[in-house]
Structure 1
Amino acid sequence: MKSLRTSGKGLIGVDITSATVKLIELKRVRGQYRVESYAVRPLREGAVVERRIRDIGAVAEALERAVVQAQPSTREACVAVPAGAAITKTLILPASLSDEEIEARIEIESDKHIPFPFSEVAFDFQRLGLNERYGDQQDVLLVACRHRDVHQLTETLQQAELVPAAVDVETFAMERAFSELRQQGGGGSDEEGVALVDIGATMNAFHVLKGGRIVYSRDTVFGGRKLTDEIASRYGLSLEEAGLSKKRGGLPGDYASSVLAPYIETLVQQIGRSLQLYYTAGRKHKVHRLVLAGGSSVIPGLKERLVEETGMEVLSANPFGRMQVNPRINAQTLANDAPAMLTACGLAMRGR
Structure 2
Amino acid sequence: MRLKRSSQGLVGVDITSATVKLLELGRHAGGLRIDSYAVRPLREGAVVERRIRDKSEVVDALQRAVEHAQLRSRRAVVAVPNSAAITRVVSFPASLSDDDIEARIQMESDKHIPFPLNEVAFDFQRLGRHPRYDDQQEIMLVACRLQDIDTLTSTLDAVGLEVVAVDVEGFALERVCRALQASQDDEGDEDDEGGGSTALVDIGANLCAFHVLKGGRIVYSRDSLCGGRQLTDAISRHYDMSFDEAGRAKRRGGLPDDYRQAVLLPFVDTLIQHIGRSLQLYYTSAGQQQVRRLILAGGSSALPGFAERLRAQSGLEATLANPFTHMRVDSRLNVGALAADAPAMLTACGLAMRALS
Identify whether the pair has TM-score above 0.5, normalized to the shorter chain. yes
Aligned to 1:264: 268
State which of 301, 315, 332 in structure 2 corresponds to 1:328. 332
Aligned to 2:111: 112
Query: For each residue in 1:314-344, what CA deviation from the matched residue of structure 2 results, as whole angstroms up to 9, or x when unmatched?
Result: 0000000000000110111101000000000
Q: Percent identity of the aligned residues?
A: 60
Aligned to 1:154: 153
Aligned to 2:20: 21
With 196-205 and 227-236 compared, the bigger mean Cα shift is at 227-236
Aligned to 2:141: 142
Matched positions, count:
349
Q: Is the 8 A contact 2:220 2:286 kept in 1?
A: no
* C-alpha separation in 2, matches of 1:14 and 1:234: 35
* C-alpha separation in 2, matches of 1:178 and 1:241: 35
Amino acid aligned to 2:30: G
CA apart distance, 1:238 = 6.1
* C-alpha separation in 2, matches of 1:292 and 1:157: 29
* C-alpha separation in 2, matches of 1:295 and 1:245: 15
CA apart distance, 1:17 = 0.3
With 91-100 and 61-70 compared, the bigger mean Cα shift is at 91-100
* C-alpha separation in 2, matches of 1:57 and 1:194: 39
Note if 1:78 corresponds to 2:82: no
Aligned to 2:299: 295
* C-alpha separation in 2, matches of 1:182 and 1:325: 20
Note if 1:6 corresponds to 2:3: yes
Q: Is the 8 A contact 1:181 1:319 kept in 2?
A: yes
Amino acid aligned to 1:190: D
* C-alpha separation in 1, matches of 2:185 and 2:204: 21
* C-alpha separation in 1, matches of 2:108 and 2:141: 12
Question: Considering only aligned residues, what root-mean-square deviation do their CA atoms show, in Å?
Answer: 1.6
Aligned to 1:49: 48
* C-alpha separation in 1, matches of 2:279 and 2:303: 21
Structure 1 residue matching 2:231: 3-state secondary structure? helix
Aligned to 2:92: 93
Structure 2 residue matching 1:350: 3-state secondary structure? coil
CA apart distance, 1:220 = 1.3
Query: For each residue in 1:55-94, what CA deviation from the matched residue of structure 2 results, as whole angstroms up to 9, or x when unmatched?
Result: 1111011011000000010111100000011011111111
* C-alpha separation in 1, matches of 2:286 and 2:180: 27
Instruction: Mark the runs of 5 or more structure 1 residues left unpaired by the alignment.
Output: none
Going from structure 1 to structure 2, the CA distance change for 1:162 and 1:186 (only over 3 Å counts) comes to: farther
With 190-199 and 338-347 compared, the bigger mean Cα shift is at 190-199
Amino acid aligned to 1:147: L
> If the length of structure 1 is used for normalisation, what is the TM-score?
0.95
Amino acid aligned to 1:332: G
State which of 316, 327, 349 in structure 1 corresponds to 2:320. 316
Structure 1 residue matching 2:177: 3-state secondary structure? helix
CA apart distance, 1:187 = 9.1
Note if 1:276 corresponds to 2:276: no
The 5 Å alignment of 1:194-343 reads: 194-235=198-239, 239=243, 242-243=246-247, 245-246=249-250, 249-343=253-347
Q: Is the 8 A contact 1:181 1:187 kept in 2?
A: no
